[in-house]
Amino acid sequence: MASLYHNIGNIYQEQGKYEEVLQQYKKSLEIEIRVYPRLADSKYNMGVVYTERNEMDMARELHREC
């Protein structure tokens, strides 16, 4: 299920719909943390989106948590 939200987020990212991307990645992250507490790839991907939006503080924080 997490990969579904992740894939939808990827589609939104290609369209430049960053708010929607983050919503989908957050849903994916919630599932990943419950299922795989140490494997939260969505944090990395969310960091990439924040980098694209030039929100570097948020991007750095998420990348540190990875």
Whether the CB-CB separation of 3 and 26 falls below 8 Å is answered with no
Instruction: Indicate the DSSP class of residue 39.
Output: -
CATH code for position 21: 1.25.40.10
Task: Determine the residue type at 40.
Answer: A
Q: Looking at the 3D structure of the chain, how many domains does it have?
A: 1
Q: Determine the pLDDT at residue 39.
A: 65
Report how far Cα 22 is from the mean position of its chain's Cα atoms. Answer: 6
Model confidence pLDDT, tens digit, residues 2-53: 899 999 999 999 999 999 999 999 999 888 888 876 667 888 899 999 999 9
pTM attached to this predicted model? 0.67
Domain range for 47 is: 2-65
- Specify the residue for token string 């957050």: 26
